[in-house]
Amino acid sequence: MPGGLVFSAEVSQSPKTSAKVFQMNELYYRYLEGCRNFNELNDLPEKGWEWHHTLPQCLFGDQPFGLWLTREQHAIASILQSFAFGRMCTSGWHKKDLPEKWLGAFKLTQKMRTKQHNQRISESLKGKSKTKEHRRKLSIASSRPKPEIRGEKHGMWGKKHPKETLERISAAAKGALHWVNCEGKTCRSRECPGPEWQRGRKWSNPQ
């Protein structure tokens, strides 16, 4: 299996973790082989094909290894690739090509972003303004009723934070001050967030 030996150097020392990783690695390459055989035996349309990199570009760059897949096959292969290599190999446009039963797995891959990935996304969005249609969709999404997460529905219901977590929360909160801006938004920070902020929880017009 191409890439198996390369990936084996990055897996955890835990035998259970290593076994699961290699199992996903094998499943990924078996799926690619099955797609190749299926596409060769069936008369599929000429359009709608996408090139799938066998080795993820986020780890190995633009390698010449890969194969042509349908849009749905490519989306599923990207999910399996994410689990096999432990990196997010999916994009938002993959979602529309996925069968419904794969959407849960797609959401899990979106949590595999690295700090470098988030930084690249942030830099690419700087200076870009949202279109009216985009702002309209964001407004509709934000106006939908939020699900209640109180009581038994809360994720921490019946649980307690470990001592180490409480110590980190306490250390982060020490020295933090309350700040408010002219719009009434508040935050806690050791330093002033900006020129339009002032100390306290309520805004007072400077005289």
Which residues have a Cβ under 8 Å from the Cβ of 190 and sit 6 or more positions away? 175, 176, 177
pLDDT, tens digit (0-9, with 9 covering 90-100), for 122-143? 888 888 888 889 888 888 877 7
pLDDT, tens digit (0-9, with 9 covering 90-100), for 159-180? 899 998 888 888 888 888 888 9
pLDDT, tens digit (0-9, with 9 covering 90-100), for 71-113? 999 999 999 999 888 888 888 888 889 998 999 999 888 888 7
| Residue the block writes with tokens 């990207």 | 78
pLDDT at 152: 82
pLDDT mean across residues, the chain? 81
**What distance in Å separates the CA atoms of residue 4 and residue 23, rounded to the nearest whole number?**
11
Q: How many residues does the chain have?
A: 207
Which residues have a Cβ under 8 Å from the Cβ of 192 and sit 6 or more positions away? 179
**How many CA atoms lie within 13 Å of 152's alpha carbon, on the beta-carbon side?**
0
| Cβ atoms 173, 187 nearer than 8 A | no
Domain coordinates in residue numbering, the chain = 4-120, 171-207
